Amino acid sequence: MGTLSLSDFKEVRIPAPWGHISGRWYGNRTERPILAIHGWLDNLGTFDRLIPLLPDYIGVLCIDLPGHGRSARLQPGMHYAVDDYVLIIPRVMKEYGWSKVSLMGHSLGGIVSFIYTALAPHTVDMVISLDMLLPSSLAPKQALAYVIHSMEKHLVEEDRQVESNLHEPPSYTLSEMTKVVAKGSFNSVTPEFAKHLLHRQVLRSQLYPDKFFFSRDGRVKYYNVTQMEPGFAEEMTKRIGRKPYLVIKASMSSYIGPKVEKPIAILHKINPHFEFYEVEGTHHVHLHAAEECARYIVPFIRHHRPPTLTSWSLSGKEQQLSAEEKRMQQEKFFERSKNKRSKL
Contacts of 278 (CB under 8 A, 6+ apart): 248, 249, 250, 251, 329, 332, 333
Q: Summarize pLDDT for 263-304 with one digit per residue, the tens.
A: 999 999 999 999 999 999 999 999 999 999 999 999 999 999
CA angle 186, 189, 190 (to 5 degrees): 100
CA 116, CA 104: separation in Å to the nearest integer?
12
CA 43, CA 68: separation in Å to the nearest integer?
6
Contacts of 212 (CB under 8 A, 6+ apart): 171, 172, 173, 174, 177, 202, 203, 204, 205
Radius of gyration of the chain (CA): 20
Q: What type of residue is 262?
A: K
Tell me the domain boundaries of the chain. 9-137+225-343, 141-222
- Which of 28-37, 135-144, 153-162, 256-265 is most confident? 28-37
CA 282, CA 254: separation in Å to the nearest integer?
9
Answer whether 180's CB lies under 8 Å from 211's CB: no
Pick from 36, 40, 39: nearest CA to 25: 36
> Which of 4-13, 49-58, 141-150 has the least mean pLDDT?
141-150
CA dihedral in degrees (71, 74, 80, 86; nearest 10)?
Answer: -60
Q: Where are the alpha helices (DSSP H) in 259-322?
A: 261-270, 285-288, 290-304
pTM for this prediction: 0.88
CA 26, CA 217: separation in Å to the nearest integer?
26
Query: What is the sign, positive or negative, of the torsion defined by CA atoms of 260, 265, 271, 275?
Result: positive
In 209-324, beta strands by DSSP E: 212-214, 245-250, 274-279
Kindly report the backbone phi and psi dihedral angles of residue 12, in degrees, each rounded to the nearest multiple of 5, phi listed first: -120, 155
- Please give the positions annotated as active site: 107
**Residue 147: count of CB within 10 angstroms of its CB:** 14
pLDDT at 3 over 50: yes
- Look at domain 9-137+225-343 and name its CATH class: alpha beta
The pLDDT mean for the chain works out to 89
Q: Summarize pLDDT for 209-221 with one digit per residue, the tens.
A: 899 999 999 999 9
Q: Summarize pLDDT for 184-216 with one digit per residue, the tens.
A: 898 999 999 999 999 999 999 989 989 999 999
Distance separating the N- and C-terminal Cα atoms of the chain: 51
Q: Is residue 344 classed exposed, middle or buried when 0-12, 13-18 and 19+ CB atoms within 10 A define those classes?
A: exposed
Contacts of 339 (CB under 8 A, 6+ apart): none
